[in-house]
Chain A
């Protein structure tokens, strides 16, 4: 017998598992499912909720299967009447202090508590009593906290603290009065929250959700005087289908465009086109900075959570941040300038709705510097989830839709733009263009696999035009901190840094379809969605941003040179030091 393998019995089945495996994992391997609530694989393994308790022969009390590890000869029972009664009691107790307004809850149908209540056939409140009351915090433009629905699983706390390294939220008060809050119980808007929205993805209930702006979208769609344009981020198309029961990682671009047209948008454009512009500008900026060594490393700026993070935490490094706006902001600016002029539409009447995998984009879009001639580049940002709700409200049978294509001329994009949605993608796309600029050739080597994959920090040295370029792509803000500290302390000499706030990049953004803890522990959601993006890239005929004919035409007819005066006015921005905490003490 191998030394690090133990044999145990779970529900009568003999199971072999590696030493250090939790009872929960070992059971899963054996095809035995144990219910959980507070458990979030690799992120929150604390045993607070007590749903995953099991009986272990010879042990006093229950074992906490999400934490406690297997032992040789262990005999585990996962659903004895005693265990079931205790789990039921725990569930009854959680329900007794949970707002029971499922009909009007954004997570109805996708709520882990509701799923358990259904499994246990909870038909009444067994232990009615006082309920903790919390004010709803909806001050921020990005997220809403309704802690009347919080079950204190602390998945959000662990995500914010351990994954993102922020710690904007933690438990305050004690006992029954315990609740998750911020420093001084202030709004998320006024504390060190970056609006990444990962807490929403972690929440099993409706206690955390995006600030929904569908109503405004419907109002504009209804108004005959408004020209409503949709633009969709690269990673929407590989996730939206999930909201309609399709498999994770299905590319639904065609159906998505059809749905948007049915919803009444005047035009449906692709943010990927905007992404090509971003690469064009960013690669040029990089080449310029590369010539003047002291301006390196250059850091990407397309992620608004990351931008807010560096503004709040490392203002001294802001000069390294690319001045490029993010793709949808560039694209919005081009729609309201170039496109409006070309189509002879009054830009004041154009209403641009960006459909994004992100809640921080809601904040980005209203940053005062994101305006051109008094008009915001983007008027409304809705998330993948919100779009799915609009489609459902319109009673469109999404899975049965025919495919259609984005509208011209702003719907044509390259494979380089498609991979923007995953960590390492912006870097790879930029390198494809940068190497052609630096060498003056049309190089065939376009895949930079060292910056692909799910690792939080991916370092590589690439050779371009005989020069070694040190690059790093990091996703997740805790990893971002590691890189920034390396740079600050002079331990690293990267030339190009790509950072995305969400672990895995935009495909795993805070506005994407929420996956249950169970799904997250069984399936590599990131990989499936990322593969779908790489597949789009592979199938594209044009895979370098600078070769996008629309882009070339717009530069030629309208913008002039990349990094030129007009390009700068429309497509670039600036940053400033931002206070982490905005309240009187």
Chain B
């Protein structure tokens, strides 16, 4: 147990000690080697890197250097990432074998290890994190502490104003005032639907009931999305603190974090964080001597996508089969065990402490008219800088894909981006300049979703894309309601037929009828949004569907059964590279001849398309 005064002292001392983490001019002789311990870097041996650094430092008897494990830095494509503070030198794709050189050259001699510097898209080597284009347009609120602090050390969290918001709420604010601040900040649910957070808090606060609950939805299930995981891995206390504030506000003294078992690192760090918070009296009885009690328990999910749907999540916490409930009643009135329950997603909670500390005016000054603050995206697919980015609402897709993401690899063209994962839709080239916020994404047939952002280049078939997402929803449907259970399966079968050249024009009509009615008749968000990828691809790429259905053709090489690969004589320079790579010798021509494809031999593997430097093969 720590008194408020003791917490203040920890904050002051530790903050001074950790100044070098955020200040390149920090007045210190110490150096901190930060080693990313997010899931991505961990699987690329970052724990071994950390151990090597520590061992070598000890062997060489080097003092004043500390090796720290941190959460995710964001640029996962360049991992494992090592950063040396205070000078903020950014080393990319470090291997355990590089440690000795980093210590000898950088730490001992004070020289940069040039070969380990990260190359930006323009080819320039950058020394510091902030110099990277990837970071320039970002604004980090939810990810504020990720990559800065050691997530397993509560003191480091406290150093950077941790638990200060809780102190402010418990000592200076009424629940009504908290609701007011959260409402006026304009924060909306980051789980995808964008329901105003303040309103949700207000509804749960005013719901009748002695026993209420606070739940954190950490069942992040969109393929390719890892925003919530990174927050939990990099800054678990911010979620605990926000949940405690929520508990005080709505009148609950019990919280549950529902996190998937597939996130073992996040679970472990949450577990450590909860224990440390309890030790300090930041969870438990009479927090800060305020008379307010609050505690948090972790509940592990078994990895069903549907359990990210709030009512299915509640069923699962209650120990039942994860299936949604019909709404209304909403959880705010009848949630966990029928009691009023506040459910927010991890990223939503991760904004709360900053809003309390900096005020709603500050927060609402960021973003667009109806979408305030920032949004974290897991940027993936055909884009150079794969990783985690946090941008102000209203940033355009073009900025994210080209400025932050560094554009499309191999000089290919942007075709579309998918936001909202399997529940979202695709955004075509003509909408690249759409500012990303809840409303405008909805307008163009997609949705914010939880933050998956997958970029696709012009080699991607949009019918296959729709099929890919339907495969996901079919296997993740819980089976409770008819439209989702059977309807998504039938949609998938139609898409499979189209991709195999067995479709017909009426299949497009069938797809549309199914999509429309599944959307309207399903019980929960999973079913209601499952047809979105089909609807949006049909909307923007209808021609491709027609080609598949009528002409039995796929303009990319993706649908093997349909692909007709040909060489554009105008573009072919006769370099022969395609011929060299063709696994079945289906390419004819010699010397500087323009090449041709023997269709009887071609297996449509697409290797030639990928290897042609002149984009002459389509």
Q: Which residues of A contact B (CB under 8 A)?
A: 46-50, 53, 61-62, 64, 67-68, 82, 85-86, 89-90, 93-94, 96-97, 126-127, 129-130, 151-152, 170-171, 173-178
Whether A50 and B522, one on each chain, are in contact in the complex, defined by CB atoms closer than 8 angstroms, is yes
Q: Which 5 A-B pairs have the closest CB atoms?
A: A178-B479, A175-B477, A89-B517, A93-B486, A127-B490
Whether B522 and A89, one on each chain, are in contact in the complex, defined by CB atoms closer than 8 angstroms, is no
Whether B521 and A171, one on each chain, are in contact in the complex, defined by CB atoms closer than 8 angstroms, is no
Q: How far is the CA of A436 from the CA of B520 in the complex (A)?
A: 67
Whether A93 and B326, one on each chain, are in contact in the complex, defined by CB atoms closer than 8 angstroms, is no
Whether B477 and A89, one on each chain, are in contact in the complex, defined by CB atoms closer than 8 angstroms, is no
Q: What 0/1 pattern do residues 484 to 511 of B give for CB contact below 8 A with A?
A: 1111111001000000000000000010
> What residues on A are CB-neighbors of B326 within 8 Å?
46-47, 64, 67-68
Q: Does B304 touch A at the CB level, under 8 Å?
A: yes
> Which of A46, A62, A96, A170 makes the CB contact (< 8 A) with B521?
A62
A-B contact sample (8 more), CB < 8 A, given A171-B321, A175-B484: A47-B326, A68-B328, A97-B486, A127-B490, A152-B479, A152-B485, A175-B477, A177-B479
With A62-B521, A171-B321 in contact, do A176 and B485 touch (Cβ < 8 Å)?
A: yes
With A49-B481, A50-B483, A68-B328 in contact, do A175 and B517 touch (Cβ < 8 Å)?
A: no
Q: Does B41 touch A at the CB level, under 8 Å?
A: no
Whether A176 and B328, one on each chain, are in contact in the complex, defined by CB atoms closer than 8 angstroms, is no
With A50-B483, A53-B521, A175-B477 in contact, do A129 and B304 touch (Cβ < 8 Å)?
A: no
Q: What 0/1 pattern do residues 315 to 327 of B give for CB contact below 8 A with A?
A: 0000001000010
Q: Which of B8-27 contact A (CB under 8 A)?
A: none
> What residues on A are CB-neighbors of B510 within 8 Å?
126-127
> What residues on B are CB-neighbors of A177 within 8 Å?
479
Q: How far is the CA of A96 from the CA of B475 in the complex (A)?
A: 18
Whether B521 and A178, one on each chain, are in contact in the complex, defined by CB atoms closer than 8 angstroms, is no
Q: How far is the CA of A126 from the CA of B326 in the complex (A)?
A: 28
Q: How far is the CA of A90 from the CA of B522 in the complex (A)?
A: 10
> What residues on A are CB-neighbors of B475 within 8 Å?
174-175
Whether B521 and A129, one on each chain, are in contact in the complex, defined by CB atoms closer than 8 angstroms, is no
Whether B481 and A48, one on each chain, are in contact in the complex, defined by CB atoms closer than 8 angstroms, is yes
Q: How far is the CA of A50 from the CA of B490 in the complex (A)?
A: 17
Query: Distance (Å) between the CB of B15 and the closest chain A CB?
Result: 48
> Which of A46, A64, A85, A175 makes the CB contact (< 8 A) with B479?
A175
Whether B477 and A176, one on each chain, are in contact in the complex, defined by CB atoms closer than 8 angstroms, is yes
Among residues of B, the one whose C-beta sits closest to the C-beta of A45 is: B326
Q: How far is the CA of A535 from the CA of B321 in the complex (A)?
A: 47
Q: Does B528 touch A at the CB level, under 8 Å?
A: yes
> Which of A64, A127, A174 makes the CB contact (< 8 A) with B477?
A174
> What residues on A are CB-neighbors of B523 within 8 Å?
47-48, 50, 64
Among residues of B, the one whose C-beta sits closest to the C-beta of A71 is: B328
Whether B513 and A89, one on each chain, are in contact in the complex, defined by CB atoms closer than 8 angstroms, is yes
Whether B514 and A127, one on each chain, are in contact in the complex, defined by CB atoms closer than 8 angstroms, is yes
Q: Does B206 touch A at the CB level, under 8 Å?
A: no
> What residues on B are CB-neighbors of A68 within 8 Å?
326, 328
Whether A50 and B482, one on each chain, are in contact in the complex, defined by CB atoms closer than 8 angstroms, is yes
Q: How far is the CA of A93 from the CA of B491 in the complex (A)?
A: 11
Q: Does B168 touch A at the CB level, under 8 Å?
A: no
> Which of B486, B517, B518 makes the CB contact (< 8 A) with A176?
B486
Q: Does B142 touch A at the CB level, under 8 Å?
A: no
Q: Does B416 touch A at the CB level, under 8 Å?
A: no
Q: How far is the CA of A96 from the CA of B476 in the complex (A)?
A: 20
Q: Which of B444-491 contact A (CB under 8 A)?
A: 474-490
Query: Distance (Å) between the CB of A157 and the closest chain B CB?
Result: 11
Query: Distance (Å) between the CB of A123 and the closest chain B CB?
Result: 16
Among residues of B, the one whose C-beta sits closest to the C-beta of A66 is: B326
Among residues of B, the one whose C-beta sits closest to the C-beta of A94 is: B482
Whether A90 and B482, one on each chain, are in contact in the complex, defined by CB atoms closer than 8 angstroms, is yes
Interface residues on chain B, size class = 20 to 34
Query: Distance (Å) between the CB of A74 and the closest chain B CB?
Result: 12
> Which of B321, B328, B489, B528 makes the CB contact (< 8 A) with A175?
B489
Whether A96 and B485, one on each chain, are in contact in the complex, defined by CB atoms closer than 8 angstroms, is no
Whether B482 and A93, one on each chain, are in contact in the complex, defined by CB atoms closer than 8 angstroms, is yes
Among residues of B, the one whose C-beta sits closest to the C-beta of A61 is: B520
Q: How far is the CA of A130 from the CA of B491 in the complex (A)?
A: 12
Query: Distance (Å) between the CB of A55 and the closest chain B CB?
Result: 10
Q: Chain A CB within 10 Å — which of B481, B488, B493 has the most?
A: B481
Q: How far is the CA of A134 from the CA of B484 in the complex (A)?
A: 21
Query: Distance (Å) between the CB of A522 and the closest chain B CB?
Result: 24
Q: How far is the CA of A53 from the CA of B481 in the complex (A)?
A: 12
Among residues of A, the one whose C-beta sits closest to the C-beta of B304 is: A174
A-B contacts, 29 listed (Cβ < 8 Å): A48-B480, A48-B482, A50-B481, A50-B521, A50-B522, A53-B521, A61-B520, A61-B528, A62-B520, A62-B521, A82-B520, A86-B520, A89-B518, A90-B483, A90-B517, A93-B486, A94-B486, A126-B510, A127-B490, A127-B514, A152-B482, A171-B321, A174-B476, A174-B479, A175-B489, A176-B477, A176-B479, A178-B480, A178-B485
> What residues on B are CB-neighbors of A152 within 8 Å?
479, 482, 485
Whether B480 and A96, one on each chain, are in contact in the complex, defined by CB atoms closer than 8 angstroms, is no
> What residues on A are CB-neighbors of B522 within 8 Å?
50
Whether A96 and B328, one on each chain, are in contact in the complex, defined by CB atoms closer than 8 angstroms, is no
Whether A93 and B304, one on each chain, are in contact in the complex, defined by CB atoms closer than 8 angstroms, is no
Among residues of B, the one whose C-beta sits closest to the C-beta of A55 is: B520
Q: How far is the CA of A47 from the CA of B521 in the complex (A)?
A: 11
Q: Chain B CB within 10 Å — which of A61, A82, A126 has the most?
A: A61
Whether B479 and A130, one on each chain, are in contact in the complex, defined by CB atoms closer than 8 angstroms, is no
Among residues of B, the one whose C-beta sits closest to the C-beta of A51 is: B482
Q: Which of B515-530 contact A (CB under 8 A)?
A: 517-518, 520-523, 528
Q: How far is the CA of A85 from the CA of B517 in the complex (A)?
A: 8
Query: Distance (Å) between the CB of B488 and the closest chain A CB?
Result: 8
Q: How far is the CA of A97 from the CA of B488 in the complex (A)?
A: 13
Query: Distance (Å) between the CB of B32 and the closest chain A CB?
Result: 47
> What residues on B are CB-neighbors of A174 within 8 Å?
304, 475-479
> What residues on A are CB-neighbors of B474 within 8 Å?
175-176
Among residues of A, the one whose C-beta sits closest to the C-beta of B489 is: A176
> Which of B304, B489, B521 makes the CB contact (< 8 A) with A130?
B489
Q: How far is the CA of A94 from the CA of B478 in the complex (A)?
A: 16
> What residues on B are CB-neighbors of A61 within 8 Å?
520, 528
Query: Distance (Å) between the CB of B94 and the closest chain A CB?
Result: 41
Q: How far is the CA of A28 from the CA of B446 in the complex (A)?
A: 40
Q: Chain B CB within 10 Å — which of A61, A175, A176 has the most?
A: A175
Whether A129 and B481, one on each chain, are in contact in the complex, defined by CB atoms closer than 8 angstroms, is no
Among residues of B, the one whose C-beta sits closest to the C-beta of A87 is: B521
Among residues of A, the one whose C-beta sits closest to the C-beta of B475 is: A175
Q: How far is the CA of A214 from the CA of B401 in the complex (A)?
A: 72
Q: How far is the CA of A171 from the CA of B517 in the complex (A)?
A: 25
Query: Distance (Å) between the CB of B279 and the closest chain A CB?
Result: 40
Q: How far is the CA of A178 from the CA of B478 in the complex (A)?
A: 8
With A68-B326, A82-B520 in contact, do A175 and B490 touch (Cβ < 8 Å)?
A: no
With A96-B490, A126-B510, A127-B514 in contact, do A175 and B485 touch (Cβ < 8 Å)?
A: yes
Query: Distance (Å) between the CB of A50 and the closest chain B CB?
Result: 5
Q: What 0/1 pattern do residues 356 to 398 of B give for CB contact below 8 A with A?
A: 0000000000000000000000000000000000000000000
Among residues of A, the one whose C-beta sits closest to the C-beta of B473 is: A175
Q: How far is the CA of A129 from the CA of B517 in the complex (A)?
A: 18
Query: Distance (Å) between the CB of A53 and the closest chain B CB?
Result: 6
> Which of A86, A89, A93, A175 makes the CB contact (< 8 A) with B476?
A175
Q: How far is the CA of A175 from the CA of B321 in the complex (A)?
A: 12
> What residues on B are CB-neighbors of A49 within 8 Å?
481-482
Whether B521 and A86, one on each chain, are in contact in the complex, defined by CB atoms closer than 8 angstroms, is yes
Query: Distance (Å) between the CB of B220 and the closest chain A CB?
Result: 19
Whether B490 and A129, one on each chain, are in contact in the complex, defined by CB atoms closer than 8 angstroms, is yes
Among residues of A, the one whose C-beta sits closest to the C-beta of B527 is: A50
Among residues of A, the one whose C-beta sits closest to the C-beta of B523 is: A47
Query: Distance (Å) between the CB of A185 and the closest chain B CB?
Result: 16
Q: How far is the CA of A67 from the CA of B321 in the complex (A)?
A: 20
Query: Distance (Å) between the CB of B366 and the closest chain A CB?
Result: 29
> What residues on A are CB-neighbors of B488 within 8 Å?
175-176
Q: How far is the CA of A94 from the CA of B484 in the complex (A)?
A: 11
Q: How far is the CA of A130 from the CA of B484 in the complex (A)?
A: 15
Query: Distance (Å) between the CB of B306 and the closest chain A CB?
Result: 8
